[in-house]
Amino acid sequence: MKKSSPKIEQSYNDYIKTLKKEKRLVLFYQLLIFIVFFSIWELLSRQEWIDPLIFSSPAKIVSLLFHKVQDGSIFSHAGFTIYETILGFVLGTLCGTLLAAFLWWFPMASRVLDPYLVILNAMPKVALGPILIVVLGPGFSSIIAMGAVISIIITTIVIYTSFRGVDPNYLKVLETFGASRYVCFKEAVLPASFPAIISTLKVNVGLSWVGVIVGEFLVSQQGLGYLIIYGFQVFNFTLVLMSLLIIAIIATIMYQLVDYLEKKIIKS
Amino acid sequence: MSFLSVQKISHTYFTKKMSKTALQDIQLEIEEGQFVSFLGPSGCGKSTLLSIIAGLLKPTNGEILLEGKTLVSGRDHVIGYMLQQDYLFPWKTIEENILLGLKILNRLTPDSKEKVTRLLKDIGLEGTESQYPRQLSGGMKQRAALVRTLAAEPKILMLDEPFSALDFQTKLKLEDLVWSTLKSFSKTAILVTHDIGEAIAMSDVIHLFGTNPGHIVKTVEVTKELRKLTPFNARNHRDYSALFQTVWKELESLEKIIPED
């Protein structure tokens, strides 16, 4: 805003004010939903209009969480699950990208493997759980494999499509300099696909949570998935709901981190 | 023996449904330092011929001789190529972009780097080294692309409608700049265009192409006076309009002969 008439400046200020007002309004309703939802839940549970044994109550969940934080056990469970999830989705994205690179490098292989990719993509990967456990043993490696397997195929398909979609004229520029296929991949195909890779990262965060939690259902002696299945077995639904709450919060944080990373990388 | 000789080049594309002959028996000679234009309607195979000369495409028949030797592929790198758009890599700075050719060819030395930096300065882009392509205007980007092409010191420059995506003023300015830059290095150049004026203003010789299949209809020599002038001044010379008429009539008569399909 340089040297504009007072009238324009006035309406500009008004415009900024309206924007701020709208933002406050949105935030207000978001908070309202939050408060109303938990108050009604608490009320229904106290009045025993819903079964408190099954649906627990926000107060009970918070007090249990407080207790678990004090004895520190929640940190080891949450840490274990976070570690598995990160490893799972990094591995899934990395293997998926490598597989996509392989398909790009050998167009013949991509034609041959196409129907198999479609089948593997359509198959629900969590159904592989029992096989993974038998092969890798009931423990850590099975859970991570689960977190990775669930995202590999879809990553491969999305990134391979992005590799194929790179403007052939970029490759033409490189070829006029006598570039090899490797140079073409390194200088044009891979960097042009970075946005696609980052956005699959976002999808894979969510997918890996599914894989890891299911994995923990099946084998684990610790972790948030284990807490859920344990709470279910001893009929402690406060524990189940508390674990669910923690998962929701951590998954959101991870998603936001990847989102932040995306904005930073795309900007530069 | 001329500098570049195109000998009986024919090319046929195959698709599942049909085969289409894009070029038939193209025969032409280009002298060193000459500026040659391929002029013709779209679909006359002029871009295909450019790709073949550049070694990016293998012709069905015929061969290309450069200084008497058969040109097999683009690997020796003697050919520079400029496309319709700049195709600068958006994630690389201007400096990284213009040094790309030398890097790929393993010829990046402090010496060669300095040469390219000087070229960038000569072309009026000093101080843009650390900027990204998106920060530059269309004309500036196309100039940077010219630097990238010239940096690898090609023997022949291929210009595939490099001005067609620019606005008219930028196009006129860039024509002058490219023309004088190429003349100062006495580079041999081939320009593909469908713009009659551009072909006359810039080149020494114009090959007119006809379609179905692509073939050379006529070769027009540009007058000596016009050759000496920069493209902008050439457009104002009296020989220019006369030549324009000749080429125009030639292209008109072509359209009448060829039945629409």
- Phi, psi for residue B38 in degrees, rounded to 5: -105, 115
Three-state secondary structure string covering B59-77: CCEEEEEECCEECCCHHHC
Looking at per-residue pLDDT, the higher value among B120 and B68 belongs to B120
A246-250, B113-117, B134-138, B235-239 — which is least confidently predicted? B235-239
pLDDT-derived band at B80 (thresholds 50, 70, 90) equals: confident
pLDDT at B261: 47
Give the chain A residue whose CA is nearest to the CA of B97: A187
Contacts of B79 in chain A (CB under 8 A): 176
**Treating both helix axes as pointing N-terminal to C-terminal, what angle do A224-233 and A194-219 enclose, rounded to 10 degrees?**
30
Q: What is the mean pLDDT of residues B158-186?
A: 85
Contacts of A183 in chain B (CB under 8 A): 104
What percent of chain B is helix, strand and coil (3-state, nearest 5)? 40, 25, 35
Q: Which two tokens stand for residue B110?
A: 């402090």
Given an 8 Å threshold on Cβ–Cβ distance, is B101 in contact with A188?
Answer: no
Topology at the third CATH level for domain A62-267: MetI-like fold (1.10.3720)
ipTM: 0.83
CATH of domain B28-58+74-78+155-261: 3.40.50.300
Residue A178 to chain B, least CA–CA distance (Å): 5
Q: Which regions of chain A are under pLDDT 50?
A: none
Q: Is the dihedral of CA A186, A189, A194, A196 positive or negative?
A: negative
A213-217, B178-182, B212-216 — which is least confidently predicted? B212-216
Given an 8 Å threshold on Cβ–Cβ distance, is A177 in contact with B56?
Answer: no
Q: Map out the domains of chain A as residue ranges.
A: 6-50, 62-267
Q: Map out the domains of chain B as residue ranges.
A: 28-58+74-78+155-261, 89-153
Which residues lie below 8 Å from residue A244, measured CB to CB, with a gap of 6+?
A: A228
Amino acid at A197: I
Q: How far apart are CA A65 and CA A61, in angstroms?
A: 6
Looking at per-residue pLDDT, the higher value among A158 and B247 belongs to A158
Q: Which two tokens stand for residue B41?
A: 């309607």
Contacts of B105 in chain A (CB under 8 A): 177-178
Q: What is the DSSP secondary-structure string of A84-123?
A: HHHHHHHHHHHHHHHHHHHHHH-HHHHHHHHHHHHHHHHS
User: Between the CA of residue B30 and those of A114, A223, B49, B57, B188, what are the distances in Å?
Assistant: 48, 75, 14, 20, 8
pLDDT at A19: 93
B81 shares contact with chain A (CB less than 8 Å): yes
pLDDT of residue B73 exceeding 80, the answer is no
Give the chain A residue whose CA is nearest to the CA of B55: A176
pLDDT at A128: 87
Reported as half-sphere exposure (CB side, CA atoms, 13 A), residue B215 has a value of: 9
Tokens 């293997």, residue located: A95
Given an 8 Å threshold on Cβ–Cβ distance, is B100 in contact with A187?
Answer: yes
Q: Chain A interface, mutation test: which of B89, B105, B135, B149, most A Cβ atoms within 10 Å?
A: B89
Looking at per-residue pLDDT, the higher value among B253 and B258 belongs to B253
Looking at per-residue pLDDT, the higher value among A13 and B211 belongs to A13
pLDDT of residue B259 exceeding 60, the answer is no
pLDDT of residue B139 exceeding 70, the answer is yes
pLDDT at A8: 87
pLDDT at B50: 86
pLDDT at B185: 83
pLDDT at A241: 92
A194 shares contact with chain B (CB less than 8 Å): yes
pLDDT of residue B74 exceeding 70, the answer is no
Pairing of β B156-160 and β B188-193: parallel
pLDDT at A3: 59
